[in-house]
Amino acid sequence: MRFRNVAAVLAALVIAALPLVARAQHGGHGDHERTVRGEILDMACFVGHDAKGPEHAKCALKCLKEGQPMGLLAEDGTIYWLFGDHDDMTAYNQAKDFGGKKVEVRGPAQDKDAIKGITVKAVKPL
């Protein structure tokens, strides 16, 4: 009888943990560290008219400085929204200086549904 109770409790714990395991395996919302290389994008121009690359760098820099949303076009083609850290916006603000240029961005992943994002903790030019 006692074994049955222990087995039932263990089974309930395993079932309760399954969604957490699935989330971890599939990159769900979380704060795992991510390092990504790619081009800093001005999302307004990128989404609006596919503007990117060196020929758009001057415009991207201007748009980012004026407050347009910022993203990263990763080497594998993935687009990441870039977010500032609420406690320290230094690295995020530095990333704005690299509009239209290749960088490496590091920080916690902030993925939700189909949206991929990174809270910028560090940025360096490539």
- If you ran DSSP here, which 8-state letter would residue 85 be given? B
Residues 60 and 95 in one domain: yes
Residues 12 and 68 in one domain: no
Provide the domain count of the chain. Answer: 2
Query: Measuring CA to CA, which residue among 90, 86, 88, 72 is closest to residue 34?
Result: 72
Q: What is the pLDDT of residues 48-57, one digit of tens each?
A: 999 999 999 9
Residues 23 and 73 in one domain: no
Residues 70 and 99 in one domain: yes
Q: CATH number, domain at 109?
A: 2.40.50
Q: What is the pLDDT of residues 21-66, one digit of tens each?
A: 444 434 445 579 999 999 999 999 999 999 999 999 999 999 999 9
- 3 versus 53: the higher-pLDDT residue is 53
DSSP 35-80: EEEEEEEEHHHHHHH---SGGGHHHHHHHHHTT--EEEEETTS-EE
pTM exceeds 0.85: no
Q: In terms of residue numbers, what domain contains 111? A: 33-125
Residues 22 and 38 in one domain: no
